[in-house]
Amino acid sequence: MVLEFEKPIADLEQKLQEMKDLAKGRNIDLSSDIESLEEKILALKKETFENLTRWQRVQLSRHADRPYALDYIYEITNDFIELHGDRTVKDDKAMVGGLGDIDGRTVMFIGQQKGRNTKQRQERNFGMANPEGYRKALRLMKMAEKFGKPIVTLIDTPGAFPGLEAEERGQGEAIARNLKEMFMLKVPVICIIIGEGASGGALGIAIGDRVFMLENTWYSVISPESCSSILWRSWDYKEQAAEALKLTAKDMKQNGLIDEIIPEPLGGAHKDLKWMSKTIKEAIIQSLKELDKLKPEKRIEQRIDKFCSMGVFVE
Protein backbone atom coordinates (compact mmCIF):
# COMPACT_ATOMS: atom_id res chain seq x y z
CA MET A 1 0.00 0.00 0.00
CA VAL A 2 1.33 3.42 -0.96
CA LEU A 3 -0.06 6.49 0.75
CA GLU A 4 -0.64 9.66 -1.24
CA PHE A 5 2.39 11.46 0.19
CA GLU A 6 4.59 8.41 -0.41
CA LYS A 7 3.89 8.39 -4.16
CA PRO A 8 6.85 10.57 -5.27
CA ILE A 9 9.13 8.24 -3.29
CA ALA A 10 7.49 5.14 -4.73
CA ASP A 11 7.87 6.56 -8.26
CA LEU A 12 11.57 7.12 -7.75
CA GLU A 13 11.98 3.68 -6.21
CA GLN A 14 10.34 2.17 -9.24
CA LYS A 15 12.69 4.12 -11.50
CA LEU A 16 15.63 2.87 -9.46
CA GLN A 17 14.46 -0.71 -9.87
CA GLU A 18 14.09 -0.24 -13.62
CA MET A 19 17.59 1.20 -13.76
CA LYS A 20 18.99 -1.73 -11.82
CA ASP A 21 17.18 -4.20 -14.08
CA LEU A 22 18.46 -2.42 -17.13
CA ALA A 23 22.05 -2.43 -15.85
CA LYS A 24 21.80 -6.12 -15.11
CA GLY A 25 19.94 -7.13 -18.26
CA ARG A 26 22.12 -5.25 -20.70
CA ASN A 27 25.22 -5.64 -18.56
CA ILE A 28 26.05 -1.94 -18.58
CA ASP A 29 27.56 0.07 -15.77
CA LEU A 30 25.00 2.50 -14.34
CA SER A 31 26.41 2.42 -10.81
CA SER A 32 27.01 6.16 -10.55
CA ASP A 33 23.48 6.90 -11.79
CA ILE A 34 22.07 4.33 -9.40
CA GLU A 35 24.04 5.77 -6.53
CA SER A 36 22.90 9.32 -7.17
CA LEU A 37 19.29 8.20 -7.51
CA GLU A 38 19.55 6.28 -4.25
CA GLU A 39 20.86 9.39 -2.56
CA LYS A 40 18.03 11.39 -4.04
CA ILE A 41 15.47 8.89 -2.74
CA LEU A 42 16.96 8.94 0.75
CA ALA A 43 16.92 12.73 0.82
CA LEU A 44 13.33 12.84 -0.38
CA LYS A 45 12.31 10.24 2.21
CA LYS A 46 13.94 12.21 5.00
CA GLU A 47 12.33 15.42 3.87
CA THR A 48 8.91 13.80 3.51
CA PHE A 49 8.88 11.99 6.83
CA GLU A 50 10.33 14.84 8.83
CA ASN A 51 7.62 17.17 7.58
CA LEU A 52 4.55 15.01 7.79
CA THR A 53 1.33 16.81 8.60
CA ARG A 54 -0.65 15.55 11.55
CA TRP A 55 -3.17 13.91 9.24
CA GLN A 56 -0.38 12.12 7.35
CA ARG A 57 0.84 10.68 10.65
CA VAL A 58 -2.68 9.47 11.35
CA GLN A 59 -2.60 7.74 7.95
CA LEU A 60 0.75 6.19 8.77
CA SER A 61 -0.56 4.94 12.12
CA ARG A 62 -3.21 3.03 10.16
CA HIS A 63 -0.91 1.80 7.41
CA ALA A 64 -2.02 -1.64 6.20
CA ASP A 65 1.48 -3.04 6.72
CA ARG A 66 1.93 -1.61 10.20
CA PRO A 67 2.90 -4.15 12.85
CA TYR A 68 0.18 -5.05 15.36
CA ALA A 69 0.42 -6.03 19.03
CA LEU A 70 1.08 -9.74 18.49
CA ASP A 71 3.74 -8.98 15.84
CA TYR A 72 5.72 -7.08 18.45
CA ILE A 73 5.02 -9.54 21.25
CA TYR A 74 6.35 -12.49 19.25
CA GLU A 75 9.42 -10.47 18.19
CA ILE A 76 10.19 -9.24 21.70
CA THR A 77 9.66 -12.46 23.67
CA ASN A 78 11.37 -15.84 23.57
CA ASP A 79 8.39 -17.60 25.10
CA PHE A 80 4.84 -16.34 24.95
CA ILE A 81 1.67 -18.03 26.10
CA GLU A 82 -1.53 -16.31 25.07
CA LEU A 83 -4.32 -16.32 27.64
CA HIS A 84 -7.96 -16.02 26.72
CA GLY A 85 -11.32 -14.98 28.08
CA ASP A 86 -12.86 -12.70 30.66
CA ARG A 87 -14.37 -15.60 32.68
CA THR A 88 -17.80 -14.01 32.34
CA VAL A 89 -19.02 -13.70 28.78
CA LYS A 90 -16.49 -14.71 26.14
CA ASP A 91 -13.07 -14.25 24.66
CA ASP A 92 -12.74 -10.89 22.94
CA LYS A 93 -10.33 -11.29 20.06
CA ALA A 94 -9.87 -7.55 19.70
CA MET A 95 -7.97 -7.64 23.00
CA VAL A 96 -5.08 -10.06 23.40
CA GLY A 97 -2.90 -10.86 26.36
CA GLY A 98 -0.56 -13.35 27.86
CA LEU A 99 2.65 -14.09 29.67
CA GLY A 100 5.94 -13.75 27.87
CA ASP A 101 9.53 -13.10 28.70
CA ILE A 102 11.88 -10.27 27.89
CA ASP A 103 15.43 -11.61 28.13
CA GLY A 104 14.27 -14.11 30.70
CA ARG A 105 12.09 -11.80 32.75
CA THR A 106 8.36 -12.56 32.70
CA VAL A 107 6.01 -9.78 31.68
CA MET A 108 2.23 -9.69 31.21
CA PHE A 109 1.50 -8.36 27.75
CA ILE A 110 -1.90 -6.90 26.92
CA GLY A 111 -2.94 -5.11 23.77
CA GLN A 112 -5.60 -4.41 21.19
CA GLN A 113 -5.17 -6.53 18.11
CA LYS A 114 -6.14 -5.65 14.55
CA GLY A 115 -6.44 -8.07 11.64
CA ARG A 116 -4.36 -8.22 8.52
CA ASN A 117 -6.95 -9.45 5.98
CA THR A 118 -10.73 -9.23 5.71
CA LYS A 119 -11.38 -12.41 7.67
CA GLN A 120 -8.94 -11.49 10.43
CA ARG A 121 -10.18 -7.94 10.57
CA GLN A 122 -13.68 -9.22 11.19
CA GLU A 123 -12.48 -11.66 13.81
CA ARG A 124 -10.50 -8.93 15.56
CA ASN A 125 -13.36 -6.46 15.11
CA PHE A 126 -10.90 -3.93 13.65
CA GLY A 127 -9.22 -3.66 17.03
CA MET A 128 -12.38 -2.38 18.71
CA ALA A 129 -12.82 -4.23 21.98
CA ASN A 130 -16.13 -4.98 23.67
CA PRO A 131 -16.59 -4.77 27.44
CA GLU A 132 -15.38 -8.36 27.78
CA GLY A 133 -12.10 -7.26 26.19
CA TYR A 134 -11.54 -4.65 28.87
CA ARG A 135 -12.56 -7.16 31.55
CA LYS A 136 -10.18 -9.75 30.11
CA ALA A 137 -7.44 -7.12 30.24
CA LEU A 138 -8.26 -6.38 33.87
CA ARG A 139 -8.30 -10.08 34.76
CA LEU A 140 -4.84 -10.47 33.29
CA MET A 141 -3.56 -7.34 35.03
CA LYS A 142 -4.80 -8.64 38.38
CA MET A 143 -3.12 -11.95 37.65
CA ALA A 144 0.13 -10.13 36.90
CA GLU A 145 -0.21 -8.29 40.20
CA LYS A 146 -0.81 -11.55 42.04
CA PHE A 147 2.36 -13.11 40.64
CA GLY A 148 4.38 -9.90 40.84
CA LYS A 149 4.94 -9.55 37.10
CA PRO A 150 5.18 -6.15 35.41
CA ILE A 151 2.57 -5.23 32.82
CA VAL A 152 3.17 -3.93 29.31
CA THR A 153 0.15 -2.72 27.33
CA LEU A 154 0.25 -2.11 23.59
CA ILE A 155 -2.46 0.32 22.50
CA ASP A 156 -3.83 0.27 18.97
CA THR A 157 -7.53 0.93 18.60
CA PRO A 158 -9.88 3.15 16.61
CA GLY A 159 -12.07 3.12 19.73
CA ALA A 160 -14.04 0.87 22.04
CA PHE A 161 -16.74 -0.86 20.01
CA PRO A 162 -19.94 1.21 19.81
CA GLY A 163 -22.35 -1.71 19.46
CA LEU A 164 -25.65 -2.81 20.90
CA GLU A 165 -24.28 -5.69 22.98
CA ALA A 166 -21.38 -3.52 24.10
CA GLU A 167 -23.88 -1.14 25.66
CA GLU A 168 -25.90 -3.97 27.19
CA ARG A 169 -22.80 -5.36 28.82
CA GLY A 170 -21.61 -1.98 30.09
CA GLN A 171 -18.86 -0.65 27.86
CA GLY A 172 -18.65 2.51 29.95
CA GLU A 173 -18.46 0.62 33.22
CA ALA A 174 -15.79 -1.74 31.91
CA ILE A 175 -13.50 1.09 30.82
CA ALA A 176 -14.16 3.14 33.96
CA ARG A 177 -13.29 0.18 36.19
CA ASN A 178 -10.01 -0.37 34.35
CA LEU A 179 -9.01 3.26 34.83
CA LYS A 180 -9.63 3.06 38.54
CA GLU A 181 -8.07 -0.36 39.07
CA MET A 182 -4.97 0.36 36.99
CA PHE A 183 -4.03 3.23 39.29
CA MET A 184 -3.80 0.83 42.22
CA LEU A 185 -1.80 -1.97 40.58
CA LYS A 186 1.21 -2.80 42.73
CA VAL A 187 3.37 -3.89 39.80
CA PRO A 188 5.03 -1.60 37.24
CA VAL A 189 2.81 -0.71 34.30
CA ILE A 190 4.23 0.44 30.97
CA CYS A 191 1.89 1.59 28.21
CA ILE A 192 2.91 2.03 24.59
CA ILE A 193 0.73 3.51 21.85
CA ILE A 194 1.79 1.49 18.79
CA GLY A 195 -0.84 2.70 16.32
CA GLU A 196 -4.12 4.41 17.04
CA GLY A 197 -4.97 5.70 20.48
CA ALA A 198 -8.63 6.61 20.22
CA SER A 199 -10.26 8.00 23.28
CA GLY A 200 -11.59 5.95 26.20
CA GLY A 201 -11.06 2.75 24.26
CA ALA A 202 -7.33 3.43 24.31
CA LEU A 203 -7.18 4.92 27.80
CA GLY A 204 -8.91 1.78 29.16
CA ILE A 205 -5.54 0.00 29.06
CA ALA A 206 -3.28 3.06 29.14
CA ILE A 207 -2.91 4.07 32.78
CA GLY A 208 0.74 3.47 33.52
CA ASP A 209 3.94 4.52 35.23
CA ARG A 210 5.39 5.19 31.81
CA VAL A 211 3.33 6.07 28.76
CA PHE A 212 5.12 5.97 25.42
CA MET A 213 4.00 6.78 21.92
CA LEU A 214 5.70 5.50 18.80
CA GLU A 215 6.70 8.37 16.55
CA ASN A 216 3.95 7.92 13.94
CA THR A 217 0.95 7.27 16.14
CA TRP A 218 -1.91 9.38 17.40
CA TYR A 219 -3.63 9.62 20.75
CA SER A 220 -6.62 11.82 21.50
CA VAL A 221 -10.13 12.12 22.78
CA ILE A 222 -11.67 11.47 19.36
CA SER A 223 -10.61 10.51 15.85
CA PRO A 224 -10.12 13.37 13.38
CA GLU A 225 -12.99 12.02 11.24
CA SER A 226 -15.52 11.96 14.10
CA CYS A 227 -14.30 15.32 15.34
CA SER A 228 -14.86 16.74 11.86
CA SER A 229 -18.34 15.29 11.68
CA ILE A 230 -19.34 16.68 15.06
CA LEU A 231 -17.70 20.12 15.11
CA TRP A 232 -17.78 20.92 11.41
CA ARG A 233 -20.90 18.84 10.71
CA SER A 234 -19.18 17.24 7.74
CA TRP A 235 -16.66 14.43 7.18
CA ASP A 236 -14.51 16.66 4.99
CA TYR A 237 -12.52 18.49 7.66
CA LYS A 238 -10.46 15.61 8.98
CA GLU A 239 -7.15 17.29 8.10
CA GLN A 240 -8.15 20.45 9.97
CA ALA A 241 -9.49 18.38 12.85
CA ALA A 242 -6.20 16.47 13.07
CA GLU A 243 -4.33 19.77 13.22
CA ALA A 244 -6.66 21.21 15.86
CA LEU A 245 -6.59 18.10 18.07
CA LYS A 246 -2.77 18.14 18.36
CA LEU A 247 -2.81 14.39 18.48
CA THR A 248 0.70 13.36 17.42
CA ALA A 249 3.39 11.95 19.69
CA LYS A 250 5.27 15.25 19.52
CA ASP A 251 2.16 17.25 20.50
CA MET A 252 1.26 14.93 23.33
CA LYS A 253 4.81 14.98 24.67
CA GLN A 254 4.93 18.78 24.44
CA ASN A 255 1.71 19.02 26.41
CA GLY A 256 3.00 16.69 29.09
CA LEU A 257 0.31 14.10 28.39
CA ILE A 258 2.76 11.26 27.65
CA ASP A 259 6.23 10.51 28.98
CA GLU A 260 8.37 9.66 25.95
CA ILE A 261 8.39 9.17 22.19
CA ILE A 262 9.88 5.99 20.72
CA PRO A 263 11.44 6.72 17.31
CA GLU A 264 10.42 4.72 14.24
CA PRO A 265 12.57 3.71 11.29
CA LEU A 266 12.48 6.03 8.27
CA GLY A 267 9.18 5.48 6.49
CA GLY A 268 7.38 4.06 9.53
CA ALA A 269 7.40 1.09 11.91
CA HIS A 270 6.43 -1.37 9.16
CA LYS A 271 9.66 -0.72 7.26
CA ASP A 272 11.69 -2.61 9.83
CA LEU A 273 9.80 -4.76 12.34
CA LYS A 274 12.99 -6.18 13.86
CA TRP A 275 14.52 -2.78 14.51
CA MET A 276 11.23 -1.43 15.82
CA SER A 277 10.73 -4.37 18.16
CA LYS A 278 14.26 -4.07 19.47
CA THR A 279 13.75 -0.36 20.15
CA ILE A 280 10.48 -1.04 21.97
CA LYS A 281 12.13 -3.81 23.95
CA GLU A 282 14.95 -1.49 25.01
CA ALA A 283 12.45 1.13 26.13
CA ILE A 284 10.64 -1.50 28.24
CA ILE A 285 13.87 -2.76 29.80
CA GLN A 286 15.05 0.76 30.61
CA SER A 287 11.70 1.71 32.16
CA LEU A 288 11.59 -1.44 34.25
CA LYS A 289 15.09 -0.71 35.50
CA GLU A 290 13.90 2.69 36.73
CA LEU A 291 10.59 1.47 38.10
CA ASP A 292 12.08 -1.51 39.94
CA LYS A 293 13.91 0.92 42.19
CA LEU A 294 10.65 2.25 43.60
CA LYS A 295 8.45 0.64 46.22
CA PRO A 296 4.95 -0.24 44.96
CA GLU A 297 3.35 2.50 47.11
CA LYS A 298 5.72 5.06 45.64
CA ARG A 299 5.01 3.92 42.10
CA ILE A 300 1.26 4.19 42.70
CA GLU A 301 1.66 7.63 44.23
CA GLN A 302 3.72 8.86 41.28
CA ARG A 303 1.30 7.30 38.79
CA ILE A 304 -1.62 9.09 40.42
CA ASP A 305 0.25 12.39 40.74
CA LYS A 306 1.28 12.32 37.11
CA PHE A 307 -2.26 11.97 35.75
CA CYS A 308 -3.69 14.34 38.36
CA SER A 309 -1.38 17.13 37.22
CA MET A 310 -2.78 17.01 33.67
CA GLY A 311 -5.08 19.88 32.76
CA VAL A 312 -4.94 23.59 31.98
CA PHE A 313 -7.24 26.09 33.67
CA VAL A 314 -7.21 29.59 35.11
CA GLU A 315 -8.15 30.55 38.65
Q: Strand 105-112 and strand 189-198: pairing?
A: unpaired
25 is a site residue for other proteins (CB under 8 A): no
105 is a site residue for other proteins (CB under 8 A): no
Task: Report the residue from 12, 19, 34, 176 that binds other proteins according to the rule CB under 8 A.
Answer: 176
User: Are the CB atoms for 150 and 107 separated by under 8 Å?
Assistant: yes
Closest distance to other proteins from the beta carbon of 311 (Å): 4
CA distance 304 to 300: 6
Three-state SS letters, 165-191: HHHHCCHHHHHHHHHHHHHCCCCCEEE
DSSP 219-236: EESS-HHHHIIIIISSGG
Task: Report the residue from 2, 43, 64, 230 that binds other proteins according to the rule CB under 8 A.
Answer: 230
Closest distance to other proteins from the beta carbon of 249 (Å): 11
Task: Report the residue from 129, 204, 270, 277 that binds other proteins according to the rule CB under 8 A.
Answer: 204
- What track of x and - describes contact with other proteins for positions 109 through 148 (by CB under 8 A)? ----------------------------------------
Q: Is 149 strand, coil or helix?
A: coil
Q: Is 213 strand, coil or helix?
A: strand
181 is a site residue for other proteins (CB under 8 A): yes
User: Are the CB atoms for 227 and 215 separated by under 8 Å?
Assistant: no
CA distance 35 to 220: 42
Residues of span 146-175 touching other proteins by CB under 8 A: 160-164, 166-173, 175
34 is a site residue for other proteins (CB under 8 A): no
Closest distance to other proteins from the beta carbon of 138 (Å): 13
Residue closer to other proteins (CB basis): 73 or 214: 214
CA distance 73 to 105: 14
Residues of span 241-300 touching other proteins by CB under 8 A: 241, 244-247, 251-252, 255, 257
CA distance 272 to 261: 17
In the complex, which residues of this chain contact other proteins (CB under 8 A)?
A: 160-164, 166-173, 175-177, 179-181, 183-184, 199-200, 203-204, 207, 219-222, 227, 230-232, 237, 240-241, 244-247, 251-252, 255, 257, 303-304, 307-308, 310-315
